Amino acid sequence: MKIFEYMGKYDYEQLLFCQDEQSGLKAIIAIHDTTLGPALGGTRMWTYASEDAAIEDALRLARGMTYKNAAAGLNLGGGKTVIIGDPRKDKNEEMFRAFGRFIQGLNGRYITAEDVGTTVADMDLIHEETNFVTGISPAFGSSGNPSPVTAYGCYVGMKAAANEAFGTDSLEGLTVSVQGVGNVAFELCRYLHEEGAKLIVTDINKEAVQRAVEQFGAEAVDPNDIYGVNSDIFAPCALGAIINDETIPQLKAKVIAGSANNQLKETRHGDQIHKMGIVYAPDYVINAGGVINVADELYGYNPERAMKKVEGIYNNVAKVIEISKRDGIPTYVAADRMAEERIAKVSKSRSQFLLNNRHILSYRA
């Protein structure tokens, strides 16, 4: 992998390699853009096939966080960490404390949180060495389990998408097909059930499906059948790349709005559903509730304030749809444009400030 070529192509700021021989730590921190503020993004632990694969994943995820944080209206940039190792057997206290010291050495340029393969307990260990970590235990003044908040953000974002497709943001009487009934999706189902929506659910975990059937009166279908059911809204809340050549012809829903990451297998699939008239709520816009929630910890966590910010996902999805219609582009492109426009405005404002005050800065130097 030609690292500098890749970084230059997508304008990354920094890539750091961290290792600690005693604990076995091998971590890669990628910082994509800090125009809006310090980079915030989680720490993922995974058994990568190669070091190049780990580097590429860190870079790709960091760039995604820049767009996610910008679109969410946060004053934060994008970053991400990957730790190379098996989260089931390679973890130890020394590893995460050593990693915390590396984060501390960045002096606030990067703030981490939990991600795939890491837990609140791991974040607590990092917190022993640095304050630049979120998603720690509530005993330390943190927000705790982010799933209900992420679910609420998806719920309000779904209502914004429904308003475009059906002329009302009421979900009462609509049928929502939900793929995956994990922690976030189960809470999303609760919100939908309370509003009077009919639920069709699927998951490879049969116990999770049965729980949704019993508590919300949901109809259960086989995982392979979820794409073709008669529903008004399809909510992907499990796998990525599920909007693809095989699934698109089966879709009957007028709205796609769910919590799963990277729902489009390829960008052309976003173009295809746009041409079909399906209203797509881009994943990183609608599922931003979790990052909005943990970002509030940076101000001293206040649950009421955090939920108020998460309610803004409704307006964010609505704005994406507005840009889509204004510019005649698919919503996945509109979401990128919204994020890029915000970053560009702040960057321009900062440059103008420096230009206007160059005499003061020169004097201080």
Q: Is 116 annotated as a binding residue?
A: no
Q: What is the pLDDT of residues 321-332, one digit of tens each?
A: 999 999 999 999
Secondary structure of residue 179 in the 3-state scheme: strand
Please determine, for residue 361, whether its predicted confidence score (pLDDT) is greater than 50: no
Mean pLDDT confidence for 104-115: 96
Distance of alpha carbon 42 from alpha carbon 288, whole angstroms: 13
What average pLDDT is seen over the chain? 94
Q: Is 180 annotated as a binding residue?
A: yes
Q: Please give the order of strands across the beta sheet that includes 255-256.
A: 219-220, 198-202, 175-179, 233-236, 255-256, 279-280
Q: What is the pLDDT of residues 211-250, one digit of tens each?
A: 999 999 999 999 999 999 999 999 999 988 999 999 999 9
Q: Tell me which of 2, 26, 68, 80 is the catalytic residue.
A: 80
Mean pLDDT confidence for 140-151: 85
Active site residue 80: yes
CB 120 within 8 A of CB 280: no
Q: Is 221 annotated as a binding residue?
A: no
CB 291 within 8 A of CB 134: no
Structure confidence at residue 145 (pLDDT): 76
Structure confidence at residue 139 (pLDDT): 86
Q: Is 184 annotated as a binding residue?
A: yes
Mean pLDDT confidence for 86-101: 97
Summary count for the chain: helices (H), strands (E):
14, 12
Which residue type is seen at 164? E
Q: Which residue from 293, 284, 285, 240 is spatially nearest to 265, judged by alpha carbons?
A: 240
Distance of alpha carbon 294 from alpha carbon 334, whole angstroms: 25
Q: Is 181 annotated as a binding residue?
A: yes
| Token pair 């096939």 in the structure block, residue | 49
Please determine, for residue 64, whether its predicted confidence score (pLDDT) is greater than 70: yes
Q: Is 153 annotated as a binding residue?
A: no
Cα distances (angstroms) measured from residue 34 to each of 111, 195, 343: 11, 39, 9
Tell me the angle at which helices 120-127 and 93-105 cross, rounded to the nearest 10 degrees: 60
Interior angle at CA 39, CA 344 and CA 67, nearest 5: 45
Structure confidence at residue 356 (pLDDT): 60
Mean pLDDT confidence for 59-75: 95
